[in-house]
Amino acid sequence: MPNFLRLTPAAAEPEVERPDPEKVISGDPVHTTWNAEERDGLYCGIWQSTPGKWRISYDEWEYCRILAGRSVITGADGTEYPLGPGDSFILRPGFSGTWEVLETTRKDYVIRL
C-alpha cells in the first residue's frame, strides 16, 4: 500500500445505500460512499447524497468539506447551518438534528471513532 493516496472516487469502490427508513423525514436520499481509508478507528473518503432529509446523531468526530451541492444541517436546538461548495465544518460526538440535501451534495470527510 503506498503512503500517498489521492482522494478521488477512483481511490475506492463505491458503496450505495439509503438511510434507515425510520430516520427519513422526506424524499428518497441515496448515499454513495467512496471510503478510501479505514484503519485504527479512522475513516476517510468521499460521500455523496441525492436530495432528501433525515435525522442524524453523531457518536463519532467528523470533519467535512463540501465539494458540490447544497445542504442544510439543523441542530436539535433548531440552529440551521446552510452549506455549499467550499464550506468546511466539524460535527462532534453528541451532535444530533437533521441533514437536508437540497441539491445533490458531495463532501470529503475524515471520521475518528
| 33-57 per-position pLDDT tens digit | 999 999 999 999 999 999 999 999 9
Cα separations in angstroms, 38 against 16, 32, 44: 17, 16, 7
Supply the range of the domain harboring residue 98: 20-112
Beta-carbon contacts of 92 under 8 Å, excluding residues fewer than 6 positions away, are 58, 61
| pTM exceeds 0.85 for this model | yes
Residue 13, domain member (yes or no):
no
Residue 9, domain member (yes or no):
no
Contact of 66 with 84, CB cutoff 8 Å: yes
CATH code of 94's domain: 2.60.120.10
Residue 15, domain member (yes or no):
no
Residue 90, domain member (yes or no):
yes
8-19: pLDDT as tens digits: 999 999 999 999
Backbone dihedral angles phi then psi of residue 92, each to the nearest 5 degrees: -95, 160
